[in-house]
Amino acid sequence: MFLIDMHGKAIHKKIKLKISLPIEKRPMNKIRGIIVHQTGGATAKSAFNSYNFGKSGAHFLIDKDGTIYQTASLIKQTWHVGKLKPRCLAEMRCTPTELTQLKKFTPSGTHRREMAKNVPNRYPSNQDSIGIEIVGQALPVNEPDHDKRTYETLTKEQSDSLKWLIQELRFSLKVPLTEIFRHPTVSYKNKTEAATASW
């Protein structure tokens, strides 16, 4: 199990610190889940470059050779999730009122209603989840419709590192296995993103 210092940095020889201050947002008071992503870019360098703009990013980045970088403090939010899907619909437990509201579907309205709930009645969000990015492109890159692209398969090294990192985070942060998701499960993303990730 790794240690987490008072600044939210994970202390372990397998983790390289490469904190990108622009992606750190408000304080994160409670961690309720983990969301697994793929970058869409070919290299870790392209992800680090995008983090310099500070719009979005995740807490960890796993390179193709399995190197794990911590890119944000574990006590800070990052913007890595986007608008939430309705969890009750996926789990077939929506109330009649929720089903009526979902007939007038808008991503923003659904997200607002979901954020009025607590985990596990909604998916973990930016405000209470750790994001793990895995370097991997969505191919072919010249396809203009992003939803028609297919994300690369994780390398063996990435898979091994992801399994180790999730196990460590689960025990260090007390995150149940039921609250670990691929990005397209919780938000409106390409369904192949992180499809080959397992933990």
Stretch(es) of the chain classified as CATH 3.40.80.10 = 3-84+123-186
pLDDT single digits (tens) 47-101: 999 999 888 999 999 999 999 999 999 999 999 999 999 999 999 999 999 999 9
State percent of the chain over pLDDT 90.
Answer: 96
Q: Please give the class, per CATH, of domain 3-84+123-186.
A: alpha beta
Per-residue pLDDT at 2: 86
pLDDT single digits (tens) 165-180: 999 999 999 999 999 9
Per-residue pLDDT at 105: 83
pTM above 0.95, yes or no: yes
* Angstrom distance (rounded) from CA 72 to CA 106: 31
